[in-house]
Structure 1
Amino acid sequence: MRLGLGGIAALGVLPLIGAQRAMTADGPETFVYVSNAGTKDIYVLGMNRDTGELTMVEKAPVPGAEKTSLVSLPMALAPNKRFLYAQLRSEPYPVSTFSIDHTNGKLTHLDATPLVDQMAYINVDKTGKYLLGASYAGAKVAVYPIDARYLVKDKATQIIDTKPKAHCVSIDASNKHAYVPVLGADYVMQFKFDASTGMLTPNDPPTVATKAGAGPRHFIIHPNGKWGYLITETTATIGTYSIDEDKGTLTEVAFVDTGDYNQKDSAFASDIHITPNGNFLYGAVRTTSMLHGYKIDPEKGTLTGIGKWPTEKTPRGFNIDPRGKFLLAVGMDSASLTVHAIDQNSGELKSVKPYPMGKQPNWVEIVDRIHD
């Protein structure tokens, strides 16, 4: 059941989320989507671009499975930002397609398609015609076609077995190469991607190794397409890689250490993002509930630490708004989201305000309003 503003206010949620100050005359210009694994829903929030203030719009249920979504509910946006995909990590592992109403940010559920396995990470290629997923529990990478209605088809284009704990699928700007960190194998798989067929083929070499026991988790690509960045879950390090423009292959440049690994237990580093202007990179570590910030060298792509800041308890996911002004982090164990302001000169973070979320919030997507 969806709740309108009146229903949410009746539950006492709206005053905690903010007031109408986040709204313009025509409504918010930016919308935030937070998935909650424990309550199988997506919070839709309006965002004030100047202050970062959030206003509740609705809670959209994610249907298709009786049980909760284990420890995460991954989401992915279509390239045109008009559709949102979300997968429940409980049988039958349905991925839902939602259309985004850009007048008010609300979601309309269109369809749910069972996938071959639960995915730790989903992504959509640059054409919007294929959904790619990495299965941590199932040790596989899968590619599914997306039809003209933006619905995920029920028959996979390709299913590839991997070593244990495939954790992410990242696609480069050319839409010709894909990268899959495999935590259990301590390497990143490199693929060529054919957008005309949706097929992945191993690149040469097919993998790039990290240090033994590092636990590669998430990989992202710099806006200039020249560098990629890998965060390792176990040791909480972040690596810079150069990307061959033609071949799409990775070459390790340098790693930085967050210092959050105690050499005994996993640091459980989680997520990594770059500001849209390419100046700053941030990584999250769950055991310490810290965000680590780095300045990116514009010539080499290497990282220089600028600070670390406390955030929500057990920050599994975060994201940065399209203007690079705010970082929004959610805490799995705090059931809350904190808006952090990003200093545009230094990259330092300043906590602005926390907001209550559902149970086990873990994924954040941010979309600017489209004016047709």
Structure 2
Amino acid sequence: MNVKGVLGATAMLIAGASVSCVSQAATYAYVSNADSQDISVFSLDKSNGSLAPVETVAVGATVMPMTFSPNHLRLYAGLRSKPYRVVSFAVNPLDGRLLELSTAPLADSMAYISTDASGHYLFSASYGGNLLAVNRIGANGVVGDVQQTVKTGPMAHAIRNAPDNRFVFASVLGADAWLRLKFDASNGQLTEDATPAYSLPPKSGPRHFVFSPDHRFAYLIDELDGKLHVLAFDSTRDTVKPVETVSILPPNFSGDKPWGADLHLTPDGRFLFASERTSSTLAAYKVNAASGKLKRIGTYQTEKQPRGFNIDPSGKYLLAVGQLSTSLSVYNIDRKTGELSAIGQYPVGKGANWVEIVEFDGITNE
């Protein structure tokens, strides 16, 4: 694609539209670097897992959580230095480059951001502010002002919509609680249940969570006790029941205390991976499709203090970064066994903490 074509595509993206052109499938990875205050952008070759640098985008603040709009044409980045705000970027599917569109205020320093299924609302969770918040997103995919805040117990850490978009769930680390909030998609309002959806043992510290692709299970990682919880999810009532709890710690763990961070499932739901920061390891599990239970595959050393990682949409590659490392590691995921094998390492900025990956299969008008 020539420069004129790219500029035309970018203009249409600013308006919130798709672009009309022929493009091969392309995969891009985005890494937020808190200390160097920028975002590293790579293209991913799905044939071999190699990365090629595309650009480094300066944001001028402590950039940490990121999320895509449902149509993947917008990337939202949360800034955790004052003034707290979120940056809306247009994503060019022709080359992966980012174009800053605007900034909007956040209610506090947000540890996690996500959107509802429609892409009309941005959810956020504040660890220091002990709250959840909702920002409206315009028809052009640009985040607007805060429209609601919900106070929680201490250290709210993550927030995501249920698969049916009727409820939102949030982990509150200091309260050892996983909350359920009714979500009205017509106006973006959250209403918290009187009791948590799931209460954890004291000092568990629930952190991140994911739903299985078939919506039958939820997986919740703790920060403080080195545990990972499997919950059966009733998609009719949006309720959960405990199935099992497993350890994310390596067999020879010798640190002062566990420090769980992130978890992700492969897109087919067959394998689950979790990061532990004290040992700088990734734990790999095989998922039993019928019961949701986990069988440990192995433990793998990775970048130092792995706060964030992610899996590409094909399920073939895992990309991991560490807050005390300036490198990103790429692993091949064995499609039969789920075992990881390191295949490459690439420079990123300082304080790397979050990875988002997007794939564009082709570009057409909508």
TM-score for both structures, normalised by structure 2: 0.90
**Aligned residue in 1 for 2:26:** 29
Cα offset for 1:27? 7.5
Correspondence for 2:337: 346
Residue 49 (structure 1) aligns with = 46
1:124-203 to 2 correspondences below 5 Å: 124-154=115-145, 156-203=146-193
Give CA-to-partner distance per residue, 1:240-295, whole Å, 9 cap, x none: 01112222112111100123596984311100000000000000000100000111
The alpha carbon displacement at 1:73 in A equals 0.8
Cα distance between partner residues in 1 of 2:229 and 2:180: 16
* 8 A contact 1:28–1:46 mirrored in 2: no
* Residue identity matched to 2:106: L
Gaps of 5+ in 1: 1-24
Aligned residue for 2:272, secondary structure, equals strand
1:371 and 2:353 equivalent? no
Deviation at 1:371, TM superposition (A): 2.0
Q: Paired residue for 2:55?
A: 58
1:243 equivalent in structure 2: 233
Contact 2:23 2:363 in 1 (8 A): no
Answer yes or no: is 1:87 the counterpart of 2:78.
yes
Q: For the residues of structure 1 that align with 2:214 and 2:29, how far apart are their CA atoms?
A: 25
Equivalent residue, structure 1, for 2:281: 290
Report if aligned partners of 2:331, 2:342 keep a CA contact under 8 Å in 1: yes
Instruction: Out of 77-86 and 242-251, give the one that drifted further.
Output: 242-251
Counterpart for residue 209 of structure 1: 199
**Superposition deviation, residue 207 in structure 1:** 3.8
Contact 1:28 1:47 in 2 (8 A): no
CA distance in 2, matches of 1:340, 1:321: 11
- Distance in 1 between the 2:25 and 2:352 partners? 22
Compute the displacement of 1:40 (Å). 1.4
Deviations 1:206-261 (A, max 9, x none): 34111111111001110111100000011111100111222211211110012359
1:316 to 307, 321, 328: 307
Cα distance in structure 2, aligned partners of 1:91 and 1:140: 17
- Superposed displacement of residue 157, structure 1: 2.4
Which residue identity does 1:354 align to in structure 2?
A: Q
Cα distance change, pair 262–161 in 1 and its aligned pair in 2 (3 A): farther
Kept after mapping to 2: 8 A contact 1:215/1:235: yes
- 1:250–1:211 CA distance, 2 compared to 1 (3 A): same
Instruction: Report what 1:13 is aligned to.
Output: none
Q: 1:251 to 1:205 in 2, by over 3 A?
A: farther
Aligned AA for 1:119? M
Name 1:229's counterpart in structure 2. Answer: 219
Q: Corresponding residue for 1:300?
A: 291
Structure 1: how far apart are the matches of 2:120 and 2:218?
24
CA RMSD, Structure 1 to Structure 2 (Å): 1.7
CA drift at 1:97: 0.2
Q: Which residue of 2 aligns with 1:356?
A: 347
Structure with greater contact order relative to length (CA < 8 Å, sep ≥ 6): 2
CA distance change for structure 1 residues 341 and 264 in 2, over 3 Å: closer, same or farther? closer
Contact 1:180 1:190 in 2 (8 A): yes
Residue pair 1:233, 1:266 contacting (<8 A) in 2 also: no
Cα distance in 2 for partners of 1:162, 1:343 equals 40
Structure 2 distance, partners of 1:357, 1:90, is 20
Alpha-carbon offset, residue 200 of structure 1: 1.3
C-alpha distance in structure 2 between counterparts of 1:343 and 1:151, whole Å: 38
**CA drift at 1:202:** 2.2
- Aligned equivalents of 2:74, 2:164: Cα separation in 1: 21
Secondary structure of 1:174 counterpart: coil
Distance 2:179 2:83 in 1: 27
Q: CA deviation at 1:205?
A: 3.8
1:284–1:149 distance in 2 versus 1, CA, 3 Å:
same
The answer to whether the 8 Å contact 2:136/2:143 transfers is yes
Query: What's the CA shift for 1:41?
Result: 1.1
Equivalent in the alignment of 1:330: 321
Match of 1:277 in 2: 268
Identity, in percent, stands at 41
| Aligned amino acid, residue 345 of structure 2 | P
SS, match of residue 117 in structure 1: coil
Matched-pair contact (CA < 8 Å) for 1:135–1:166 = yes
What is the CA–CA distance in structure 2 between the aligned matches of 1:90 and 1:298, rounded to whole Å?
A: 42
Q: Is residue 2:94 matched to residue 1:97?
A: no
- Partner residue in 1 for 2:36: 39
Q: What are the Cα deviations for residues 294-353 of structure 1, in whole angstroms up to 9, with x where unaligned? A: 111110111111111101111000000001000000011011100010000000000111
Q: Is the 8 A contact 1:171 1:179 kept in 2?
A: yes
Higher fraction of strand = 2
1:121 maps to 112
| Runs (5+) with no aligned partner, structure 2 | 1-21
Cα 1:187–1:264, aligned 2, differ >3 Å: closer, same or farther? farther
**Greater Cα offset, 233-242 or 196-205:** 196-205
